[in-house]
Amino acid sequence: MKYLLIILILTSCVNSKTIHYTVKAGEHSSGVKVNVLKKDVISYSFTTDSSWVWDVPQLNGFSKVTGIAWNSNHQNSVRVVYMRLDTIGVLAYYYYLNGVSPQQNHVQKGILDTITIGHTYAGRLGWDNGFYFITLNDKQHSMKVGYPFSDVTVKTLQNLYVGGTYTIDHDWTSKVTIK
């Protein structure tokens, strides 16, 4: 009985969630419901598989893997994103700040690493002590932003999403664990 109580206490302290995403062929969104967050920082992990390989589209763009948005994902957000380039895939960071897109201000995006199929990637991202930041395995990026979200009413987890104006011809799957 004593051990059962200890196990129950330890498992109730773990605050993680694993989400299984599938973006169906020809779609952009996984259709997963919005997950509200209570904090400005999350830890994450995901493993790539063969569904992460597709032909480079004519109008290529970044696709969301995970992230946090404050009120609106096009107002203030921090994201780990993915893109196919030639024969490789890259993982990158992508920030929206006060409605300014990373397409408008190129210092708000950049490549962190190339992917290896079957490899697990883990890190932390969010806002802390005046900085947007992303860590991905041994790579990191941060950008000083202050706290521009004084009117925040909701923080949400960003879901798997095929970005740009293209879609892919097969299902894209990912299992993302958030803490």
Reported as a single tens digit per residue, the pLDDT across 58-92 is 889 999 999 999 988 899 999 999 999 988 999 99
The span from the CA of 160 to the CA of 22, in Å, is: 8
Q: Check residue 132 and give its pLDDT.
A: 94
Class of domain 17-178: mainly beta
- Tokens representing 62 are 């970044």
pLDDT band at 12 (very low <50, low <70, confident <90, very high): very low
Backbone angles phi, psi at 4, to 5 degrees: -60, -40
Rounded average pLDDT over 119-145: 96
- Are 166 and 23 spatial neighbours (Cβ–Cβ below 8 Å)? no
The residue written with tokens 């079957």 in the block is 118
pLDDT band at 148 (very low <50, low <70, confident <90, very high): low
Q: How far apart are the first and last CA of the chain?
A: 29
Q: Where are the alpha helices (DSSP H) in the chain?
A: 2-13
Average pLDDT along the chain? 89
Q: Is the pLDDT of residue 5 over 70?
A: no
Judged by phi (left if over 0) then psi (alpha if -120 to 50, else beta), residue 99 lies in left
3-state secondary structure (DSSP) of residue 36: strand
